């Protein structure tokens, strides 16, 4: 049609630049491209470069053609024709203004290669789909390009990782779990740098698997739904915020810095993803007088080598200065923004929250450390930390204005629509989405990804911490689904299989966990279905009170009550208020929230101070760098596994909250009560892996103590021995002796070894689905948290079998052996138990409890015999033979959150004492069972002992059951002696109070939130109940006590003020009495009621109604 497009004059030997090479490569490798984009590019490049573009393209085409096989599709001539057309446009600029429709060279749908279709954006080479995914492909502009509507999310992720791993020599480090179980300071992994935090803080252990990594790349699973980084309230309102997202990132740890980071970012965007350079804007830190920091002109100048000055923009601290937290590494950053529209100056729209000009990449230049006083000091090593939101860049590469229109979300939106019916997702936002139907779609599919990934990685919805955040997220999604989409019950948890299907190609660990995740979310979803209605009722009552008082603002404390007690998101309360013509006191809500957080923080600080009796000390990047700069080597702690040593060591550094000093005499501040000593070597074991550290002293050769060591911790290989400020002077260079309290360690070590045996025994009894969720080993006892789905907990029979297996391990006097081994070899051992999400060092220390030593395990890793003994990775201290543990007793088994149980146990003398106490209690029980007098006071005394004495949990359960039978027998005898209308005797009242106290304690320990006590016999009176709820520990526990005698029910109800948002005592009593046609009433805190002719089945219904009333 246009002969001018193929003029041979273009075969001139002209040179081109990098950006032109990229553009030419796109044309050579794919016939389908957008002529309009070509026109803009050529006009921008100018005549010489434009002709060079055409020539270079033809040269590449010829070379490509010569290398290709005869079977290659004959597309190259059409690629050449397209390039010639682009160059011709340079000579005929009037065509650049022709509308896109006139320049589209449409390709045949039948697969003909005789024409070329034109489409904006990046282009992928032709050839078999997936050809780029061959082993270790070379990453080039050609091999990584793809058509705008053909890039898949998996291809985008892979292209990024391949670029840095294969072309820029970065090490691929897999994503850490989105639930950082090893970092209690962090709710969720909220950025790619979280797992590298120890590197930035200068606290990396010498044997860490990250040791020696100078460049890294990955795609990190992230959740931003709490704390400083919280996108929860924005999800649904726009088309680009998410609570769960993937962060593509590349890092430099003291290796390359700004120049490489900027140049490689430009190369990836323009040559691999082939984004239009004319649409890219870069920002840089514009300086801050308050911080005393000048503008980052270095970054500005580096960007101006790629972009015109008008598209390199300065911004302040809020946008272009990144901080890890209030204290820690930080630095200026440079953000890359992309204009979806093009053909305009969009500089004014950068950082203006415009949906068409979006940030796609952030390059952080980590070069400062923020001190506790707010000042900044240079880091000893400068780092690069970059983050690119995968979902956003996919939307750009797929030419979609919304992240939800990409293949990241489309399968989930389809699955949701199949459940709810009606109109499918239409992408409306703001006023166009007046019904909030599309908002609901976005909220639900986003939250489904978040909940699935979080629960799969070990978190569960609960009433505290990250579990509480997850509960709020689920409730937000369910509320939107039920109210805006009329979704059926259980719709949300049924999205889990689709989430797993979408994300498992990138994260294979999702395979096999879908059923467990769905079961946990289903249970939580059912519980919230009951809460929605109560929240609405509460708000209606509040609205009425405000109207009567002439007020038009919902108080902040009431908003917080809805949020905290009923799980209502703030945006729901705001929406309900808006519909009622009311305002919401958000400042008051935030104040109430902050007060709650401060109460929690203060309680934690007080607890730490109480436990340690001293200020905690820690070494961060500045301190470890200070030590390294002075050639102070990391502490040699090789003797930490040895016993009964007293090695001499040299004081290399003295640290306090005033910093490093040469002598403790320099500590003149009276508040400087804590001192940390760093030695050249030590025999102390530092706190790690859930095991408490050693205690002891640093002493003179004579044995005189210089420093009582209370806390031992390790930071970046430096072991810090902390204690109260010594009276006698201690100086750098002094020689001291490490006096480890080995008697203390002899109490810790058996607890640690038996924790391993307990883990093995649980798997033997309950199956392979048991995974460790945490542990704590002290001198007094051991605590082990594990996943288990049965809501009723571990049965008494199974718990007894677990305890018996551990006892057998002790009685068999099995050896305990350990050995370091390459991580890959150790991971191949059959029966190995490892903590999910834990990053293990390489080499790793393998500990086994059993007849087969570690050397045999490594020699024959597939031997099934190893499943019959405990095998774990562990860096803790252990006994050498199980007989040293002497005895074992499980004191308690309880739930701490949905799907997670906790066992507390003891060994040694403590276990022997617990077992002996159990024998004595059993003797008393047998005596009472044979005593015909049935002394009620004796039963009461035995019940109190069961509550107070530590003994085997299974024995205690059995004794409580037997005690319950005795009480029933006694009450039956007492009923025969009672006359009609007789009053409750003092002994009966005391027995009833003892039973209620026992049930209330059990309910509180199990985290049930309420106590419902049904006594088959005389109950308690209102006065007694008032005394009970005033007891410490029961101030926030609603209690309902019902006595059941000859078909008559008498109930007493107490609801603390803190729980009356769910309903007061009178309402609860009526809910209980309704199924049995009873009557009752009372004030907010206390109520009572009665019912007659009540069957056992009807009473069960009443109890169920009472439980449902306070269900969360």
Residue 150 has pLDDT above 90, yes or no: no
The mean pLDDT value for 937-945 works out to: 80
Residue 227 has pLDDT above 70, yes or no: no
Residue 887 has pLDDT above 80, yes or no: yes
With a CB cutoff of 8 Å and minimum separation 6, the contacts of 60 are 24, 25, 28
Residue 49 has pLDDT above 70, yes or no: no
The mean pLDDT value for 944-971 works out to: 86
CB atoms within 10 A of CB 208: 18
Least confident of 90-104, 210-224, 432-446, 941-955: 90-104
Model confidence band, residue 188 (pLDDT cutoffs 50, 70, 90): confident
pLDDT of residue 374: 80
The mean pLDDT value for 197-210 works out to: 80
pLDDT of residue 774: 84
- Of 236, 234, 239, the residue nearest 401 (C-alpha): 239
State the pTM of this model. 0.56
Encode pLDDT of 395-434 as tens digits: 999 999 899 999 999 999 999 999 999 999 999 998 999 8
With a CB cutoff of 8 Å and minimum separation 6, the contacts of 113 are 31, 73, 74, 75, 78
Model confidence band, residue 8 (pLDDT cutoffs 50, 70, 90): very low
Residue 293 has pLDDT above 80, yes or no: yes
What is residue 759's three-state secondary structure? helix
Least confident of 148-152, 160-164, 186-190: 148-152
The set of long-range contacts for 907-912, using a CB threshold of 8 Å and a minimum separation of 24, is 907/750, 907/751, 907/754, 907/782, 908/747, 908/750, 910/780, 910/781, 910/950, 911/886, 911/887, 912/886, 912/887
Residue 632 has pLDDT above 60, yes or no: yes
What is the C-alpha separation between 167 and 959, in angstroms, rounded? 69
Encode pLDDT of 108-128 as tens digits: 223 333 222 222 333 233 333
100-109, 158-167, 170-179, 624-633: which is most confident: 158-167
Model confidence band, residue 23 (pLDDT cutoffs 50, 70, 90): very low
pLDDT of residue 812: 96
The mean pLDDT value for 865-876 works out to: 93
Least confident of 276-280, 282-286, 637-641, 1008-1012: 1008-1012
User: Which tokens in the block code for residue 156?
Assistant: 């985008």
CB atoms within 10 A of CB 1061: 16
pLDDT of residue 599: 66
Least confident of 90-99, 702-711, 902-911: 90-99
pLDDT of residue 492: 95
What is residue 48's three-state secondary structure? helix
**Percent of all residues in the chain with a pLDDT value above 90, rounded to a whole number:** 42
Residue 694 has pLDDT above 90, yes or no: yes
- Of 629, 637, 541, the residue nearest 580 (C-alpha): 541
Model confidence band, residue 528 (pLDDT cutoffs 50, 70, 90): confident
Residue 163 has pLDDT above 90, yes or no: yes
pLDDT of residue 366: 93
Contact at 8 Å (CB) between 782 and 889? no
Model confidence band, residue 994 (pLDDT cutoffs 50, 70, 90): confident
Contact at 8 Å (CB) between 405 and 201? no
Q: Average per-residue pLDDT in the chain?
A: 80
Encode pLDDT of 360-399 as tens digits: 999 999 998 888 778 888 888 899 999 999 999 999 999 9
The mean pLDDT value for 254-271 works out to: 96
Comparing 531 with 548, which gets the higher pLDDT? 548
CA 511 distance to own-chain centroid: 19
End-to-end CA distance of the chain: 71
Residue 181 has pLDDT above 70, yes or no: no
pLDDT of residue 16: 34
Torsion angle of alpha carbons 1093, 1095, 1096, 1101, nearest 10°?
-100
The mean pLDDT value for 1083-1111 works out to: 86
**Percent of all residues in the chain with a pLDDT value above 70, rounded to a whole number:** 80
Torsion angle of alpha carbons 807, 809, 815, 820, nearest 10°?
-110
pLDDT of residue 205: 78
Residue 908 has pLDDT above 90, yes or no: yes
Q: Maximum distance among all alpha carbons in the chain? A: 121
Model confidence band, residue 1025 (pLDDT cutoffs 50, 70, 90): confident
pLDDT of residue 183: 63
Encode pLDDT of 965-984 as tens digits: 888 887 777 666 554 445 56
Comparing 1083 with 344, which gets the higher pLDDT? 344
Contact at 8 Å (CB) between 160 and 248? yes
The mean pLDDT value for 247-268 works out to: 96
pLDDT of residue 78: 39
Residue 38 has pLDDT above 70, yes or no: no
pLDDT of residue 977: 55
Residue 689 has pLDDT above 90, yes or no: no
pLDDT of residue 570: 75
Encode pLDDT of 766-825 as tens digits: 988 788 888 999 999 999 998 887 767 899 999 999 999 999 999 999 999 999 998 889
Judging by DSSP bridges, how do beta strands 870-873 and 844-849 pair with one another? antiparallel
Model confidence band, residue 561 (pLDDT cutoffs 50, 70, 90): confident
Q: Cis (ω within 30 of 0) for the bond into 940?
A: no
Model confidence band, residue 471 (pLDDT cutoffs 50, 70, 90): confident
């Amino acid at each position: 049609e246009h002969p001018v497009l193929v003029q041979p004059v273009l075969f001139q030997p002209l040179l081109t630049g990098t950006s032109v090479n990229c553009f030419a490569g796109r044309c050579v490798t794919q016939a389908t491209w957008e002529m309009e984009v070509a026109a803009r590019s050529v006009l921008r490049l100018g005549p010489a470069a434009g002709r060079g573009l055409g020539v270079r393209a033809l040269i590449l085409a010829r070379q490509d053609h010569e290398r290709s096989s005869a079977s290659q599709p004959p597309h190259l001539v059409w690629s050449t024709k397209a390039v010639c057309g682009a160059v011709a446009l340079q000579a005929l600029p009037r065509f650049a203004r022709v509308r896109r429709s006139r320049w589209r060279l449409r390709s045949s749908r039948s697969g003909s290669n005789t024409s070329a279709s034109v489409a904006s954006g990046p282009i992928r080479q032709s050839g078999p789909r997936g050809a780029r995914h061959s082993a270790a492909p070379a990453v080039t502009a050609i091999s990584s390009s793809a058509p705008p509507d053909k890039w898949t999310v998996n291809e985008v992720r892979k292209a990024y990782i391949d670029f840095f791993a294969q072309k820029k020599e970065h090490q691929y480090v897999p994503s850490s779990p989105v639930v950082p179980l090893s970092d209690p300071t962090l709710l969720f992994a909220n950025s790619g740098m979280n797992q590298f935090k120890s590197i930035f803080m200068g606290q990396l252990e010498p044997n860490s698997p990250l040791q020696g990594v100078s460049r890294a790349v990955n795609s990190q699973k992230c959740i931003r739904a709490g704390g400083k980084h919280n996108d929860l309230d924005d999800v649904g309102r726009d088309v680009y915020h998410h609570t769960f997202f993937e962060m593509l990132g590349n890092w430099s740890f003291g290796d390359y810095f700004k120049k490489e980071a900027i140049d490689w970012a430009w190369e990836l965007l323009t040559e691999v993803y082939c984004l239009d350079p004319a649409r890219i804007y870069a920002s840089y830190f514009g300086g801050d007088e308050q911080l005393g920091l000048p503008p980052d002109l270095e970054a500005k100048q580096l960007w101006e080598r790629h972009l015109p000055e008008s598209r390199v923009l300065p911004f302040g601290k809020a946008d272009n200065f990144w901080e890890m937290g209030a204290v820690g590494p930080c630095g200026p950053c440079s953000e890359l923004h992309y204009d979806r529209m093009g053909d305009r100056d969009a500089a004014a729209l950068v950082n203006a929250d415009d949906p068409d000009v979006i940030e796609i990449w952030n390059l952080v230049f980590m070069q400062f450390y923020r001190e506790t006083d707010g000042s900044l000091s240079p880091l000893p090593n400068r780092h690069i930390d970059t983050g690119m939101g995968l979902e956003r860049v996919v939307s750009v590469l797929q030419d979609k204005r919304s992240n939800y229109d990409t293949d990241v979300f489309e399968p989930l939106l389809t699955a949701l629509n199949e459940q709810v019916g009606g109109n499918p997702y239409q992408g409306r936002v703001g006023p166009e989405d007046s019904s909030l139907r599309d908002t609901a779609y976005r909220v639900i599919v986003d939250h489904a990804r978040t909940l699935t990934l979080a629960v799969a990685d070990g978190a569960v919805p609960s009433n505290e911490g990250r579990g509480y955040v997850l509960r709020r997220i689920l409730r937000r999604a369910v509320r939107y689904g039920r109210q805006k989409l009329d979704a059926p019950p259980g719709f949300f948890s049924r999205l889990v299989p689709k989430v797993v299907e979408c994300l498992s190609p990138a994260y294979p660990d999702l395979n096999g966990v879908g059923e467990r995740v769905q079961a946990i979310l289903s249970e939580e979803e059912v519980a919230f279905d009951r809460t929605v209605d109560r929240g609405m009722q509460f708000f209606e009552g509040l609205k009425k009170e405000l109207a009567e008082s002439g007020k038009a603002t919902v108080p902040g404390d009431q908003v917080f009550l809805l949020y905290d007690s009923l799980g209502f998101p703030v945006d729901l309360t705001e929406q309900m208020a808006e519909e009622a013509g009311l305002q919401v006191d958000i400042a008051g809500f935030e104040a109430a929230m902050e007060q709650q957080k401060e109460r929690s923080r203060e309680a934690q600080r007080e607890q730490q101070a109480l436990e340690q009796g001293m200020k905690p000390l820690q070494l961060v990047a500045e301190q470890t760098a200070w030590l390294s700069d002075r050639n102070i080597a990391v502490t040699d702690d090789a003797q930490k596994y040895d016993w009964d040593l007293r090695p001499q060591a040299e004081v290399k550094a003295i640290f306090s909250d005033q910093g490093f000093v040469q002598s403790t005499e320099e500590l003149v501040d009276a508040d400087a009560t804590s001192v940390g000593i760093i030695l050249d070597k030590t025999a102390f074991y530092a706190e790690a892996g859930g095991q408490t550290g050693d205690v002891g002293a640093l002493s003179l050769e004579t044995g005189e103590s210089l420093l009582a060591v209370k806390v031992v911790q390790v930071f970046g290989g430096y072991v810090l021995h902390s204690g109260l400020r010594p009276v006698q002077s201690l100086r750098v260079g002094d020689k001291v002796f490490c006096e480890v309290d080995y008697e203390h360690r002899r109490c810790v070590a058996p607890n640690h070894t038996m924790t391993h045996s307990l883990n093995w025994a649980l798997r033997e009894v309950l199956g392979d689905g048991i995974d460790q969720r945490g542990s704590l080993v002290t001198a007094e006892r051991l605590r082990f948290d594990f996943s288990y789905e049965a809501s009723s907990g571990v049965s008494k029979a199974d718990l007894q079998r677990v305890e018996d297996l551990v006892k057998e391990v002790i009685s068999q006097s099995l050896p305990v052996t350990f050995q370091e081994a390459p991580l890959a070899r150790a991971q191949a051992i059959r029966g190995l138990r490892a903590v999910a999400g834990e990053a293990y060092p390489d080499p790793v220390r393998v500990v086994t409890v059993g007849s087969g030593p570690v050397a045999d395990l490594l020699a024959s890793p597939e031997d099934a015999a190893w499943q019959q003994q405990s095998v774990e990775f562990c860096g803790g201290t252990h006994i050498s033979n199980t007989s040293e543990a002497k005895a074992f007793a499980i004191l308690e088994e309880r739930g701490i959150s949905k799907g997670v149980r906790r066992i507390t146990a003891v060994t040694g003398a403590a276990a022997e004492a617990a077992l002996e106490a159990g024998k004595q209690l059993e003797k008393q029980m047998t005596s009472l069972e044979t005593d015909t007098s049935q002394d009620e006071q004796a039963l009461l005394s035995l019940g109190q002992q069961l509550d107070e004495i530590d003994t085997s949990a299974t024995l205690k359960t059995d004794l409580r059951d037997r005690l319950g039978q005795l009480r029933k027998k006694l009450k039956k005898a007492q009923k025969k002696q009672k006359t009609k209308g007789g009053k409750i005797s003092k002994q009966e009242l005391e027995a009833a109070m003892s039973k209620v106290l026992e049930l209330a304690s059990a309910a509180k320990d199990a985290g049930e939130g309420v106590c419902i006590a049904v006594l088959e016999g005389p109950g308690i009176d209102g006065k007694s109940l008032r005394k009970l709820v005033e007891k410490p520990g029961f101030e926030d526990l609603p209690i309902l006590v019902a006595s059941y005698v000859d078909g008559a029910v008498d109930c007493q109800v107490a609801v603390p003020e803190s729980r009356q948002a769910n309903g007061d005592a009178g309402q609860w009593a009526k809910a209980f009495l309704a199924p049995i046609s009873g009557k009752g009433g009372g004030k907010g805190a206390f109520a009572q009621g009665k019912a007659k002719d009540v069957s056992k089945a009807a009473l069960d219904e009443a109890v169920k109604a009472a439980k449902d009333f306070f269900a969360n």
